[in-house]
Structure 1
Amino acid sequence: MADDLKKGLEGVLVAESELSSIDGDAGRLVYRGYSIEDLAEEATYEEVLYLLWHGHLPTTAELEEFSAALTDEREVSEDVLATMERLAAADEAPMAALRTAVSMFSATEPEDDAEPDDLEASLRKGRRITAKIPTALAAFERYRLDEEPIDPDPDLGLAANFLYMLTGEEPDDVHAETFDQALILHADHGLNASTFTSMVIGSTMADIYSAVTGGIAALSGPLHGGANQDVMEVLFEIDESGKDPLEWVEGATEEGRRIPGFGHRVYNVKDPRAKILQRRSEELAENGDDKWYEITTTIEEYLTEEKGLVEKGIAPNVDFYSGSVYYQLGIPIDMYTPIFAMSRAGGWIAHTLEYQEDNRLIRPRGRYTGPEDQEFVALEDR
């Protein structure tokens, strides 16, 4: 029957999970029962990784051991660095470079002989992937600037260390905390396209490197991971137009333009992550250039108050404010989606291993709509 078809699997339940829950009508997101607001304000990204992977928030001793393991595994091989240099010289897209890097990480995996169903070994592999992604990404960007990569700093947390390796300067507390918070907000979000892709790959009992590489590939598509870059490009357009932001957005909506960063497949109200990043954007504006914050808030006020989009279920999503926040942190705009992947790798790993605990090969069906009873004609008679 036609009504059995669920294009895009919308509304279809395919798995149970203890990892994250989304209430799209209330604008609520939780990781293992903890509200995203509490985690963003009180935890670090390392604590959130531990929570997602181990099921509980770590004690001080557990966090110290876990963070030390991540720190010890940050370095990447000379082969990875050489490949990042070649890809940068070839003007490769950052997401494609990241996809290649993660595939290469497995070449130096110390537990490459572990059985596919050894989930503890897979988790350790996932930890190594998560630790190395920032190093590879930062090296790629340095090579694009014709500069040498910067070695990881063992005294810095994952977020601060990435900014340090990227820019060559140790970030101040506000920048480090803001980026750490952004990583927390993007760590997991239910069975989105990239997470589901990782799970499908994992359901074949392929290794965790394959699952994460597949997640990166899915996230690279413009319908999933690129909206924050689109938002920043619109902000540039407004700034370069010389128009007042309100005048610009009025004209754009009259022309029928869609403003990126509004609307979400799940949320019918303002994304809770957008609320948190809006506050961070305001804080960064108070300590620097407030132009981008003023433009984004002007757009939001017009579209919500004058156009009533929220009443229509179209509200700001996380990308609407993450773009300007990343820009204020000095991050190139084409690195926004790779940073998304850097954070979301934790969720991909968690969901893949959770699914493999009670694994069943994911194998949906499609309805055939082609011709029937075709008569074969020999090649010479066609």
Structure 2
Amino acid sequence: MSQTDAPAPTQSRGLEGVTALDTELSFIDGQKGELLYRGYGIQDLAENTSFEETAYLLWKGSLPTQAQLDELNAQLREARPVHPDLLDHLRHHTPKDANPMAAMRTALSMLAAYDDEADVMDAEANYRKAVRLTAKLPTLVAAFDRIRKGLDPVAPKQEGSTAHDFLYMLNGEEPGPAAEAIMDAALVLHAEHGLNASTFTARVISSTLSDMYSAVVGAMGALKGPLHGGANIEVMKTLLKLDESGQSAQDFVDEKLAKKEKIMGIGHRVYKTLDPRAVILRDMLEDLSEEKGETKWLEMSDTIRTTVKETKGLDANVDFYSASVYYLLGIETDLYTPIFAISRMTGWTAHLLEQWEDNRLIRPRAEYVGPRGLTVTPVAERG
């Protein structure tokens, strides 16, 4: 077929509905509210596997045996410490009021300088980097939060789960079993979600055969946006403002809808029903609310969700309930997106490993809609 006979490219605003590539990593049925990681239902994984098992599944294609899980846990624990230079950068060269995602974006980029395999592109080296990135990001997030509060970073114990060590480094004390279990499940729920904006960014970068660090730094930049990873921060800000105002959740929703304003955490580009991750997080929030004796966040959230569902037909997404779960765990609001990144690092890196198995440069076209036929006027004659 000649170039002139080639079919015209299909245009879709925001690439909605466009299938760019094949993947074995996750499947989403937005009509049924179904999410699978390599064939396993998300509820099954959240209830019956650990974050580390889920990471292995995404990276390797199957759930690990006990021996394989023990090996991965040992690798993750060994890799959790970061070079002292990175802690010095966070301590002396990162403003205390810096956006945590901006701080982590820079720290991730710096990690490459301390990795001898940063530019080694064989499959095994890339797998080892995926493990190291997953291990080190929780250490960096916890260190940044403590340093900005005037506290010393807590070194990883290099024991137990990713969720346990992260909460320990963040708070300087051992987490309780419930807190660890909830954090672990939240990490499973956020690990992978198809070709979302940050994952697509990572795959575009990797398709140029750039390195893994460059790709995840780009993904981090995409995740920072309030229409992607930053949505749960906006959800919690809304709930806190609503609580402070004394306005009822019902009146709040009615007012928002009357003004045709968006309610963060409601609606999803893919799901046309309740996000299956939101179902699990809602149950977690209910259990946590009862344990803490604080049910107002659950009550407000349920009122907002049901009212918008009845009025607009839109339902909650994963960000809607994760906000209150993290808040009741005592986590600073602006750390929600970095915690999202801790989990999604496994999905990003799994996509990179998949991309490099059969790489093709990702290069869509843009439809030119500007003027044509203009001619240059000498600069002295331009008015």
Tell me the TM-score normalized by structure 1.
0.94
SS in 1 for 2:315: coil
2:188 corresponds to which of 184, 190, 194:
184
What does the per-residue CA deviation read over 1:59-97, in whole Å, with 9 as the maximum and x for residues that have no partner?
Answer: 000000001100100001111101112355352110000
Distance 1:255 1:362, change over 3 A: closer
CA distance in 1, matches of 2:231, 2:56: 28
- Structure 2 CA distance, aligned partners of 1:365 and 1:214? 20
**Aligned match of 2:297:** 292
Deviation, structure 1 residue 108: 1.3
Matches within 5 A, 1:1-382: 4-112=10-118, 114=120, 116=121, 118-288=122-292, 289-305=294-310, 307=311, 309-310=312-313, 314-379=314-379, 382=382
Quick check: 242-251 or 213-222, which moved more?
Answer: 242-251
Structure 2: distance between partners of 1:87 and 1:81? 10
Is residue 75–residue 132 contact of structure 1 (8 Å, CA) maintained in 2? yes
Task: Measure the CA separation in 1 of the matches of 2:9 and 2:113.
Answer: 47
What is the CA distance between 1:379 and its match in structure 2? 4.3
The amino acid across from 1:360 in the alignment is R
User: Which amino acid in 1 is paired with 2:156?
Assistant: P
| C-alpha distance in structure 2 between counterparts of 1:218 and 1:61, whole Å | 36
* 2: CA distance, partners of 1:291 / 1:87: 40
Do the aligned partners of 1:88 and 1:141 also contact (CA within 8 Å) in 2?
no
- 1:253: how far off? 3.1
Go from structure 1 to structure 2 and tell me whether the alpha carbon gap of 1:128 and 1:5 turns closer, same or farther (over 3 Å shift). same
SS in 1 for 2:36: strand
CA distance in 2 between partners of 1:87 and 1:41 (Å)? 41
Q: Secondary structure at the match of 1:156?
A: coil
Maintained 8 Å contact 1:126/1:209: no
Partner letter of residue 122 of structure 1? N
Matched-pair contact (CA < 8 Å) for 2:202–2:219: yes
Q: Distance in 2 between matches of 1:15 and 1:281?
A: 36
**RMSD of aligned residue pairs (Cα, Å):** 1.7
Shift of 1:248: 3.4
Amino acid in structure 1 at the alignment position of 2:302: T
Q: Give the Å deviation of 1:370.
A: 2.4
Residue identity in the other structure for 1:142 = R
CA deviations on 1:346-370 (whole Å, 9 max, x unpaired) are: 1111111101111011111112222
Give yes or no for contact 2:118–2:212 (8 Å, CA) kept in 1: no
Aligned 8 A contact 2:231 2:264 in 1: yes
Change (3 A) 1:113 1:211: closer
Task: Give distance in 2, aligned partners of 1:280 and 1:87.
Answer: 38
Q: Over residues 24-62 of structure 1, what are the superposed CA-to-partner deviations in whole Å (9 max), with x where a residue is unaligned?
A: 000000000000010000000000000000000000000
Q: What SS is found at the alignment partner of 2:28?
A: strand
Between 1:360-369 and 1:66-75, the stretch displaced more is 360-369
Q: Which runs of 5+ in 2 are unaligned?
A: 1-6
C-alpha distance in structure 1 between counterparts of 2:322 and 2:156, whole Å:
25
Q: Which amino acid aligns with 1:263?
A: G
Name the SS of the counterpart of 1:262 in structure 2.
Answer: coil
Within 2, Cα distance between the matches of 1:250 and 1:2? 45
State the distance in 2 between where 1:261 and 1:207 align: 33
Provide the rounded CA distance (Å) in 1 between the counterparts of 2:74 and 2:37. 23
- Note if contact 2:119-2:211 (Cα within 8 Å) is conserved in structure 1: no
Distance 1:14 1:256 in 2: 33
- Seen in structure 2, the aligned counterparts of structure 1 residues 374 and 237 have a Cα distance that, compared at 3 Å, is same
SS of equivalent residue, structure 1 residue 58: coil
CA contact (8 A) 2:187 2:340 kept: yes
Q: How far off its partner does 1:378 sit?
A: 4.2
Among the aligned pairs, what percent are the same residue? Answer: 50
Change (3 A) 1:255 1:136: same
Say if 2:239 and 2:297, in contact at 8 Å, map to a contact too: yes
Most deviating of 3-12 and 96-105:
3-12
Find the aligned partners of 2:230 and 2:134 in 1 and give their Cα distance: 21
Q: Report the Cα distance in structure 2 between the residues aligned to 1:377 and 1:303, rounded to whole angstroms.
A: 56
Q: Secondary structure at the match of 2:219?
A: helix
Offset of residue 304 of structure 1? 2.5
Shift, 1:246, TM fit = 2.9
